[in-house]
Amino acid sequence: MSFSIEGKTAIVTGAANGIGLAIARHFASKGANVMFADMDEARLAKECGERDETDNMRYFAGDLREKLTLANLLSATLDAFDRVDILVNGSRQVIETDPFSMDDDSVEMMLQQNLMTAMRLSQLVARRMIKQGENQEDGQIGAIVNLSSIAARRTHPQLMGYSLACAALDQMTRSMAVAYAPERIRVNALAFGSVMSSSLKSTLKDHRDYRSDIEEHTPLGRIAAPEELSEAVQFLCSDSAKFLTGQIMTVDGGRTLLDPVNAPAH
């Protein structure tokens, strides 16, 4: 069984920090060509630094909610590496909202960041994958992985906007998997629980009691490191998962196995 992604070209969004950065770094360390994509140019530049034409890491900065920016991201990837084989949609935003006062703007923001960006970029990249695979007689021609959350199937009113977006992302994953299967493109999602992302780090600084709350509601008794998701994503992108599509893989330390009543939202 081979988890190899060596020589593949991947676009990873949300790659300036946290989970997206960990996945992009991991892919590069495993021999993949990686385009780190995010809005935060300063952090991307710091991470990727000056690169020459022989390096397997590049970065692209821009507002990924804009359609033209996504087209430019794909063009930059093709200019750098000539092809794209893997897409990891890791650009996401978590905002707590009051369910009694949540307005259209906050819902729209959640959907744009966590759903629409992934949908638009997946469509663009899938078309390119299909074009690349025209002369390839068998085997998969591409893999797409969406980063989701267990919030999609748990009830946390203060995360209603985020939960709605993640639930929609899960359904999009299943629908795209069926639509793209005849084209030999696999589409899966990774739903995770509490991971020490940049946003959770910030939250824990302000609410130190949250850590024990999370650990108490997680059977494995700890918060995951961002790097722990990387190998799961690599598996979903590798030939070892070549008969796996339309699945929402859960990596949460067992948290969804417990009664969700009174469980923490973070």
pLDDT digits (tens, 9 = 90+) for 154-202: 877 888 888 899 999 999 999 999 999 999 999 999 999 999 987 788 7
Q: What is residue 81's predicted lDDT score, i.e. its pLDDT?
A: 97
Q: Is residue 263 part of a domain?
A: no
pLDDT tens profile 5-59:
999 999 999 999 999 999 999 999 999 999 999 999 999 999 887 766 668 999 9
Expressed as residue numbers, the domain containing 90 is: 9-257
Token output for 254: 């067992």
Q: Is residue 4 part of a domain?
A: no
Give the amino acid at 130.
I
Q: Is residue 213 part of a domain?
A: yes
Q: What is residue 25's predicted lDDT score, i.e. its pLDDT?
A: 96
Q: What is residue 132's predicted lDDT score, i.e. its pLDDT?
A: 95
Q: What is residue 94's predicted lDDT score, i.e. its pLDDT?
A: 75
* CATH code of the domain containing 233: 3.40.50.720
Q: Is residue 23 part of a domain?
A: yes
Domain count, the chain: 1
